[in-house]
Amino acid sequence: MNYIAEGVYQAFVMIITLNPDVVDITLRTLTITLSATLIASVICIPLGIYIAFNEFYGRKTLISVIQTLYALPTVVVGLVMYMILSNNGPLGFLDLLFTSTGVMLGQVVLILPIITGLTISALSNLDSTIRDTIVSLGATTGQFFSSMILEARFAIMSAVIMGFSRAISEVGAAIMIGGNIKGHTRILTTAITLETNIGNFSLSVALGIILLLIALTVTMIVSRFQQS
Amino acid sequence: MEIKNFKVLAILLLSAFASVMLTAGCTGTDGSAQTATPTATAEQTVTATPAPAETAQKEYADNELLIATTTSLYATGLLDQLAGEFMNDTGVDIKITAVGTGTALEYGANGDVDLIMVHDRARENAFIEDGSGTDRRVFGYNYFVIVGPESDPAGIKGMAPTEALETILTKGSGGAEGVKFVSRGDSSGTHGKEKALWSVAGYDYAEYEPVWVKEDWYVEAGTGMGGTLTMADEMDAYTLTDIGTYLKYQGDGTINLAELVNEGDDLINIYGAILVNPDKYSDTNVEVGKDWVNYLITDDVQDEIKVFGVKDYGQPLFFPAMGALDVLSPSGVTQDEISAPLA
């Protein structure tokens, strides 16, 4: 079992020499995942704010449903998206199956509940005196929202990071929607699956290390941001 | 306040950066693919950008071919090599998704790919008969083998394939020490071959399988060939495998299983390429698909198949179909299927 030592060495070599295959896969992984995170954030943060600050019928149930969907299995997302995007499916005409855009959409669906739910929690946890103070100072609705977001920005950012982490680490949806096509839809997780399947364990370990390094780097950048 | 504004600005900048990445990544071809500079160091690198167009190059209306294939053709590296050469010659972007025969047939039946390359004649015939596929060409074959622990606890070495399976069944269900069989259990081409062998041995798989899975000797892996081989290796069990994947794993030192049963016409493994029916799915790329299939049955490619893997594994992983009609015809392969180019 020297796969791990060999994998660490290979990862080192691949990073130092900027192995073109690895650079290609890594850039694609980042592009797809960052795009998915951005799109999901643009949808989820306003949605989360709306749900957090408005009383409406079924609100509690909705929040429970969103929280349950944190555990949405990636293969279920993959299967459903395959059926929708397939030539025979309702959105088949878009030709998104086996494309990186398709993979990105899958990731968006996967992380929508996480970012929405955690945004709701972040805002609900704000001290109600802060809310009252802002309102009593005569803030307009827009000012109210922007100051609430500013107050809760670290928690919202954590929500976004959680979404990013889930997206970059998932493999089920990416492989079912994207098909793991070299040069097009192959990302780090699906490459690891393939290399493991064809017995290249040390290469899998190496790619795994690169994946961990990316996750670590992104998280560190954001936490520095939070601390500054 | 200034610090806060700075943070908001930073968030905006980050978003803008991500948007740029987004547009680069999601419009048409992958922007990221071009940023990787291919070098001569990576032998198997297939460049994402096609080679500069030569004057003699054919102009295709659609410059992409999407192929769903069985894992063995891909995992051994054969398909990647052939695709790379075809891409260099024609500028066509060959996109390969390696999923196993069952899934590949399903993708073909849904019109999600242009072409499938699989190895299960019975289901291929059904695929063509129900109108999902049109022309099939046979470009190569090899043999399945039954592999197992060197110690061979059931004593099947050198037996006929069906006799070997029956022996494993009898000893395994009789509780003999260390007799186990790992099945793919995933409706792959290899799993299809296993079912066919049981049927030849006189066991209706649909009837017996539910009984066997409850016993200790029959293990269904539910995974690809590589995973199944690794599992059999860890469990010191027998399994049925295509020779290509086995030789790759054995040659790379990933597994340590012996080739025990490798003779018998029953074990032939025939690879076919089938175009998805353009009458059923109008967006099938027939033009490139035909050229690709015809490319597979050219002398050059057939010669290439003959020697593929010899350098690394001491023997070829596949045999060319051309000139092997006597071997293939008992399975229903015709001369046209081997050598007649698609018109």
Segment B13-28, tens digit of pLDDT: 444 444 444 444 443 3
Share of chain B above pLDDT 90, in %: 69
Helix ranges (H only) for chain A are 3-16, 20-53, 59-68, 74-85, 100-124, 128-136, 141-151, 153-169, 172-178, 188-197, 201-227
- A188 pLDDT more than 80: yes
- B162 pLDDT more than 90: yes
- Beta carbon pairs, A and B, within 8 Å: 124
Give mean pLDDT, residues A201-222: 89
- B7 pLDDT more than 60: no
- B164 pLDDT more than 60: yes
Q: What is the mean pLDDT of chain B?
A: 85
Residue with tokens 């049981």: B198
Give mean pLDDT, residues A207-225: 89
Indicate yes or no: CB of B18 within 8 angstroms of CB of A37.
yes
Q: Is the pTM of this model over 0.80?
A: yes
Indicate yes or no: CB of A98 within 8 angstroms of CB of B71.
no
Of A98, A153, A183, the CB nearest to B97: A98
- B219 pLDDT more than 60: yes
Give mean pLDDT, residues B126-139: 95
- At residue B238, the pLDDT reads 97
CA distances from A58 to A42, A51, A55, A71, B86 (A): 24, 11, 9, 21, 58
Which of A33-47, A144-158, B126-140, B267-281 is predicted least confidently? A144-158
- If one compares A28 and B72, the residue with the highest pLDDT of the two is A28
- B220 pLDDT more than 90: yes
Give mean pLDDT, residues B237-255: 91
How far apart are alpha carbons A45 and A47 in whole angstroms? 5
Residues of A in contact with B24 (CB under 8 A): 31
Indicate yes or no: CB of B99 within 8 angstroms of CB of A179.
yes
What does the block give as tokens for B15?
A: 């978003």
By the 8 A CB rule, do B96 and B79 touch? Answer: yes
By the 8 A CB rule, do B70 and B118 touch? Answer: yes
Share of chain A above pLDDT 90, in %: 61
* Chain A interface includes B249 (CB < 8 A): yes
Which of A58-72, B33-47, B235-249, B326-340 is predicted least confidently? B33-47
For B45-91, write each residue's pLDDT tens digit: 444 444 444 445 778 888 999 999 998 899 889 999 999 999 999 99
As a whole number of Å, the CA-based R_g of chain A is 20
Indicate yes or no: CB of A86 within 8 angstroms of CB of B110.
yes
pLDDT category of residue A140 using cuts at 50, 70 and 90 = confident
What does the block give as tokens for B12?
A: 């905006």
Residue A222: how many other CB atoms lie within 10 Å? 17
Of A98, A101, A150, the CB nearest to B26: A101
Q: What is the ipTM of this complex?
A: 0.83
pLDDT category of residue B163 using cuts at 50, 70 and 90 = very high
pLDDT category of residue B227 using cuts at 50, 70 and 90 = confident
- At residue B56, the pLDDT reads 58
Of the candidates A142, A152, A37, the residue with the CA atom closest to the CA atom of residue B14: A37
Cross-strand partners of B146: B240, B261
The angle at the Cα of A83, spanning A82 to A87, to the nearest 5 degrees, equals 90
Indicate yes or no: CB of A197 within 8 angstroms of CB of B80.
no
Give mean pLDDT, residues A114-121: 95
- At residue B48, the pLDDT reads 46
- At residue B120, the pLDDT reads 93
Of A39, A87, A201, the CB nearest to B112: A87
By the 8 A CB rule, do A98 and A181 touch? Answer: yes
- At residue B45, the pLDDT reads 42
Of the candidates B254, B243, B337, B260, the residue with the CA atom closest to the CA atom of residue B293: B337
- At residue A1, the pLDDT reads 55
Q: What are phi and psi of B44, to 5 degrees?
A: -90, 5
The angle at the Cα of A202, spanning A15 to B236, to the nearest 5 degrees, equals 175
- At residue A4, the pLDDT reads 83
What does the block give as tokens for B45?
A: 């690198």
| Most A CBs within 10 Å, among B47, B73, B112, B247, to test the A interface | B112
| Most B CBs within 10 Å, among A143, A149, A153, A198, to test the B interface | A198
How far apart are alpha carbons B268 and B258 in whole angstroms? 19
Which of A166-170, A206-210, B36-40, B274-278 is predicted least confidently? B36-40
- At residue B229, the pLDDT reads 93
CA distances from B150 to B145, B170, B172, B183 (A): 14, 20, 17, 19
Give mean pLDDT, residues B99-125: 94
Residues of A in contact with B252 (CB under 8 A): 199-200
Give mean pLDDT, residues B176-182: 93
- B43 pLDDT more than 70: no
Q: How far does chain B reach from its first CA to its final CA, in angstroms?
A: 73
pLDDT category of residue A32 using cuts at 50, 70 and 90 = very high
